[in-house]
Structure 1
Amino acid sequence: MKRKRRSRLVLLTVLGLGASLAAPAMAAESVEQVEWGACPADVVAGAAPHQLQCATVPVPLDYADPGGTRIDLMISRLASPNPEKRRGVLMLNPGGPGGSGLTLSALLMSKGLPASVAESYDVIGMDTRGVGHSSPVSCGFTTTGPYVANIPPYAVDDAAVTAQAKVAQEVAEQCAANDRDGRLRHLTTANIARDLDRIRVALGEEKASFLGYSYGSALGAAYASMFPERSDRIVLDSNIGDTHLDRDGLRRYALGMEQTFPDFAKWVAQRHDAYGLGRTPEEVRQTYFEIAGRLDEQPVDGLDGALFRLSTFGGLFGETVYGRTAQLWQAMRDSAPAKAALVGDQLSPADNSLSVFLSVTCNDVEWPEDVDTYRRGVAEDRERYPLYGAATANILPCAYWSHEPAEPPVAINDEGPENVLIVQNHRDAPTPHRGGELLRQKFADRSRMVSVDGSGHGVYVLGGNACALNVTTSFLVDGKLPAQDRVCGAAAG
């Protein structure tokens, strides 16, 4: 069933009010500056031993109605320990959409954020609109519901696509029913980018630098495109390829899994005595298909083949989780119900983060509404990307979302300062290297790209590659983009 469409006249009226970037930017100059204070207890605990300050910034719920309803955004600050070297603010985003970023500065410090960066900036974390402490939204997801992740379940056949379509429609209707205050429709990447500029003004800064991971790359790309002269130094890490996640971007997850899986398979094969999952990478790959197929036929304590594939996909995000992923495989191979139940608990839905993910993803861009479109895509990607293609081509609740996009997705603006550094691993499950290539092409002369012969999700600080760390740090501290694109070897120093 197709969602009810608004008339073209109404849609054009909304676009006329909401698509202008100049009016919200001018209005932002009247924002009151922040007053720093103590952070909520969960933020204090999550940031320990680092001490953060927190504040709220009011922003319009609807930028087309700047004098209307306001919502409060919570931001955090890890202040520069050396004010004489401080040059500005570095805003952070961990991805999602829907990830909380209030303690991201503390995480980066614990992972080795260079002192020169910490001295150069007040590092600003935040919960973006709808997330956590920033006027949170809810679709009412529960641990017993059918919606467990932001990636659709693997579809073993056409009937599975049809079954998922019914679930997707019910999820969309559930979100609409729980949206009693009308906030969900205003969760878009464009509005979050406008929020960033409001935060910049509230901090009293003429420009703002930005470091974003995963979906944060889309947000940073949108900010640099909408406010090019107010963007300072922009680092886009682990890139989805545009300012929004669309169907092509979601389907690239399957490409990323195919490219990243061999690293995991090699790691497991080298530890055959410990895990017994295959003596060669080829044998490990075959074990994956055997376990998945068995669970398709006979789930173990609620864990079916779709959840096994999803958990394996998440287990490719970095070598630090390879061991846990291999242990899951052992449990599934041996049909161990207790361990299967534990994995199921780990995959339980987080209502707030999934609600934000759906809202932003569905509001940013039009999604196909014809189930046959998804059925064809599943069939194509099951052959192209046998590990996971029949999941990422499956149908999202966006096909039945209750709102049309209020404005077109943000277009990449390549007419601005040369201030965009794109950082990307060659092998990354959710954001394959192709995403970085696409952004590099779109930003053209505004950007440079650092490609890393590495595997995993997250490069700068999180990935451990010294070459990429040094190039990115030099850009953030000294403003030096590489003269040309760089390739960092696996063992580069």
Structure 2
Amino acid sequence: MPITLVGSLRTEGRTWTSFAGRNTKLRWTVGEQRQHHESGRASERKRVRKNLAVTLIVGVLAGGPVPPATGATGVAPEFEPAPIRWGQCGDGKLRRAGAECGFLRVPLDYARPNGRKISLAVSRIEHTSPEAEYQGLMLVNPGGPGGSGRKLSLLGGAVPGAAGSTYDWIGFDPRGVGASRPALSCEPDHFSTDRPAYVPDGEGVERKRLRRGADYATACARAAPELLEHLSTTETVEDMESLRKALGRERINYYGFSYGTYLGQVYATRYPRRVRRLVLDGVVDPRKVWYRSNLEQDLAFDRVFARYTDWIAEHHSAYHLGRTGEEVRRRYYQRLTELDRAPAGGVIGSAEWTDIFLRAGYGTRGWERIAEAFAALVHEHDPEPAKRLYEAAHSQGDNSYAVYLAIECTDAEWPKRWSTWRTDHWRVYARAPFETWGNAWYNAPCRTWSAPAGDRLRVSGDDVSGALLINQEFDAATPYSGALEVRRRFPESALIGVRSGVTHSGSLSGNACVDDRIAAYLADGELPERKRGDRADVVCAPLPAPDPGSEPNSGAKRRSEPRTTQPTVLRTALRSARR
């Protein structure tokens, strides 16, 4: 295809030309967002990132590759990664599945490709189909941000009808995460039990929580100051592009869950002609990255909490916690107040209690176990089931939390004035008390984060040939409105909506209405027919909620029976990527 001039942009005294057609050598690299200078480094990085956002938008609107960002030294040279040296995986499940493991070496700062390198942990399960049916690479990301994705090379085995067998499935731990080196950790015992309460109903609680958030931000700045300045969505996008190059493919296929859907959106915006097939499950709204999206989550989690307590009431004969949802909710908040005064077993206070129930907001799997812990504490004064749930949720230290903050705090600006946070969160709390303040304090380190934030990028899928979006109607972590917005921005996409579903990123979990359409898309590129209007193109029913039966212990018996086809290791990987 001939290269056609479609527009130009003058920045920093230089004129850059945007072209339509094949990729040219004029390419920006994300590292140029964070140019280092001997003096004025933070302000210079901020200026360059703003210029980069402008050039990205202009390039996308023009329909061609984006001109490079520039600094004092001009255009940064393009990075060419070395091939990955594959070997045996240390993880037993990956090894038994026939996976290979290795490390991809990439620049810490893409503006300095010959400078310091970091290592990304990668796994691969190669296609088993005949070569004539081979469809290329399938990169997978579990979300978080901060989720370890190395084990998700196993995901191909969960696709119905062997449709996954025609791809090489690539799992990877993003920069700073898991087995990648260096991995970020700031305070390994940050989630130890008996923490301060969440709701700041007194100056003492607010003061403690503000100090706790600021101390965590300081600990991260001390732990890895250089790494902290190079953990962002756009830099992970450049790592994905390096991974594509290292594996020697012209295009990638991509499957992203939760935050991984935003990563896919940004990659598709930056490299639309490198995208072949795109599956996004639990779709992030790119307009609200990230302060606004967290406020919207608070309202959504409250809705799912109400549905969960209604479910507990429906099974009163199993749990004896109330015959109506309202009665169950009153009992929950009564227990919350009591735990503020006297933590159960000396360790489960109101903050830990909230975190245990937050797991119910991510989907119906686990509803029985949480209800059993609730009943054990109320009826038998036994905190052990609750302690086990809390410890399981936070058994892996703070790596995923530290990277979560490093990305969310720097992808876009957060309010610096605490008065703004206080006003916004008390306003939302009046409507949604369940998780609002827990979420506020979880993100509070962003207010004093040391690495500078950039400007939110404008996502566009105009040049992407197709995408399959999946979202459940009452998904709390990624509300349904985000899927509709991305459907508008990706005109060749199709959306599968799960009516009344509450599970976050629940594809390939045994719902044939959803999973069979994913398989069809991966097999031959077949998307559901796009309907007119702002709505889903296919509507599926959710998987049924668990039925604990009429006896208190029957739920425990049922848990040993698999309800889905999704491999346990994949459920664990996805769960670890969610808060």
Question: Shared topology, TM-score over 0.5?
Answer: yes
Match of 1:412 among 456, 459, 467: 459
Deviations 1:213-234 (A, max 9, x none): 1111111111111111111111
Give 1:333 deviation, angstroms: 2.1
Deviations 1:190-241 (A, max 9, x none): 0001111111111111110100111111111111111111111111111221
Give 1:27 deviation, angstroms: 5.8
In structure 1, the residue matched to 2:525 is: 479
Contact 2:160 2:516 in 1 (8 A): no
**What letter corresponds to residue 12 of structure 1 in structure 2?**
R
Contact 1:57 1:74 in 2 (8 A): yes
In structure 1, the residue matched to 2:248 is: 204
* Distance in 2, Cα, partners of 1:437 & 1:17: 27
In structure 1, the residue matched to 2:266 is: 222
Contact 1:315 1:324 in 2 (8 A): no
2:144 pairs with 1:96: yes
Structure with greater Cα Rg: 2
In structure 2, the residue matched to 1:250 is: 294
* Distance in 2, Cα, partners of 1:262 & 1:212: 28
Cα 1:388–1:351 change in 2 (3 A) is closer
The SS at the match of 1:384 is coil
Give 1:146 deviation, angstroms: 5.8
Contact 2:79 2:110 in 1 (8 A): no
Give 1:100 deviation, angstroms: 1.1
Structure 1 regions of 5+ residues with no counterpart? Answer: none
Match of 1:353 among 400, 408, 428: 400
In structure 2, the residue matched to 1:235 is: 279
In structure 2, the residue matched to 1:173 is: 218
Match of 1:59 among 103, 106, 114: 106
Contact 1:259 1:428 in 2 (8 A): no
* Distance in 2, Cα, partners of 1:235 & 1:347: 27
Cα 1:329–1:28 change in 2 (3 A) is farther
Match of 1:391 among 415, 420, 438: 438
* Distance in 1, Cα, partners of 2:95 & 2:367: 27
In structure 2, the residue matched to 1:459 is: 506
Contact 2:83 2:247 in 1 (8 A): yes
Identity %: 30
Once structures 1 and 2 are overlaid, which stretch shifts more, 157-166 or 360-369? 157-166
User: Where does 1:63-462 land on structure 2 (aligned, <5 Å)?
Assistant: 63-84=110-131, 85-106=133-154, 109=157, 112-143=158-189, 145=190, 154-157=198-201, 159=203, 160-179=205-224, 182-242=226-286, 245-300=289-344, 301-334=346-379, 335-348=381-394, 350-394=397-441, 396-405=444-453, 407-441=454-488, 443-453=489-499, 454-462=501-509
In structure 2, the residue matched to 1:12 is: 47
Deviations 1:62-120 (A, max 9, x none): 112222111121211111111331111110001111111111132562xx322443222
* Distance in 1, Cα, partners of 2:404 & 2:153: 22
* Distance in 2, Cα, partners of 1:148 & 1:449: 41
Contact 2:76 2:111 in 1 (8 A): no
Cα 1:155–1:438 change in 2 (3 A) is farther
The SS at the match of 2:236 is helix
Give 1:440 deviation, angstroms: 2.4
Deviations 1:301-348 (A, max 9, x none): 222222211210112322220111112212332432434443442343
In structure 1, the residue matched to 2:85 is: 35
Deviations 1:431-466 (A, max 9, x none): 22222223223x24142211112221223203x321
Once structures 1 and 2 are overlaid, which stretch shifts more, 345-354 or 224-233? 345-354
Cα 1:260–1:369 change in 2 (3 A) is same
Once structures 1 and 2 are overlaid, which stretch shifts more, 387-396 or 201-210? 387-396
* Distance in 2, Cα, partners of 1:283 & 1:59: 55
The SS at the match of 1:66 is coil
The SS at the match of 1:437 is helix
* Distance in 2, Cα, partners of 1:26 & 1:37: 33
Give the TM-score normalised by the residue count of structure 2: 0.76
* Distance in 1, Cα, partners of 2:134 & 2:193: 43
* Distance in 1, Cα, partners of 2:310 & 2:365: 14
* Distance in 2, Cα, partners of 1:251 & 1:413: 24
Deviations 1:398-440 (A, max 9, x none): 10011212x4333202331232221101122322222222322
* Distance in 1, Cα, partners of 2:376 & 2:95: 34
Give 1:147 deviation, angstroms: 7.5
Once structures 1 and 2 are overlaid, which stretch shifts more, 342-351 or 84-93? 342-351
* Distance in 2, Cα, partners of 1:48 & 1:282: 49
Contact 1:60 1:67 in 2 (8 A): yes
**What letter corresponds to residue 92 of structure 1 in structure 2?**
V
* Distance in 1, Cα, partners of 2:130 & 2:447: 50
The SS at the match of 1:76 is strand
Give 1:392 deviation, angstroms: 2.4
**What letter corresponds to residue 424 of structure 2 in structure 1?**
G
Contact 2:193 2:347 in 1 (8 A): no
* Distance in 2, Cα, partners of 1:436 & 1:119: 28
**What letter corresponds to residue 489 of structure 1 in structure 2?**
C
Give 1:130 deviation, angstroms: 0.9
Cα 1:86–1:103 change in 2 (3 A) is same
2:518 pairs with 1:469: no
* Distance in 2, Cα, partners of 1:10 & 1:86: 43
Name the structure, 1 or 2, with higher relative contact order (CA <8 Å, separation 6+).
Answer: 1
**What letter corresponds to residue 170 of structure 1 in structure 2?**
D
* Distance in 1, Cα, partners of 2:315 & 2:47: 59
Cα 1:123–1:246 change in 2 (3 A) is same
Cα 1:83–1:133 change in 2 (3 A) is farther
RMSD: 2.9
Cα 1:222–1:14 change in 2 (3 A) is closer
**What letter corresponds to residue 222 of structure 2 in structure 1?**
A
Contact 2:469 2:496 in 1 (8 A): yes
The SS at the match of 2:366 is helix
Contact 1:217 1:240 in 2 (8 A): yes
